């Protein structure tokens, strides 16, 4: 009986771990926020980032890639628009 209890506990723990990991997956908005704060490797934060977005030196695709997200045009445009709107 203790073996069954341990096995069930291990399965429950594993399921909880996977559920909590997926609950904290980054979204494109999270990636924009992390980039703005300077928390993504290779991406400057704050005012430098906004200037780089305006000049095209850094794109939404760059930010999504640095965040480890799938890169697509729609999300890249969204990230750029969020960062441009922070300037206002």
Give the pLDDT band of residue 20 (cuts 50, 70, 90): very low
Average pLDDT, whole number, for the chain?
80
CB 29 within 8 A of CB 82: yes
Distance, CA of 27 to CA of 10 (rounded, Å) = 30
Task: Assess whether pLDDT exceeds 70 at residue 32.
Answer: yes
27 vs 21, higher pLDDT: 27
59 by Cβ neighbours in 10 Å (0-12 / 13-18 / 19+) ranks as middle
């Amino acid at each position: 009986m203790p073996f069954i209890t341990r096995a069930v506990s291990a399965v429950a723990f594993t399921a909880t771990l996977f559920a909590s990991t997926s609950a904290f997956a980054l979204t494109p908005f999270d990636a924009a926020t992390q980039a703005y704060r300077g928390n993504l490797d290779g991406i400057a934060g704050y005012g430098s980032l906004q200037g780089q977005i305006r000049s095209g030196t850094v794109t939404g695709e760059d930010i999504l890639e640095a965040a480890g997200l799938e890169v697509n045009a729609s999300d890249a445009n969204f990230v750029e628009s969020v960062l441009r709107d922070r300037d206002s």
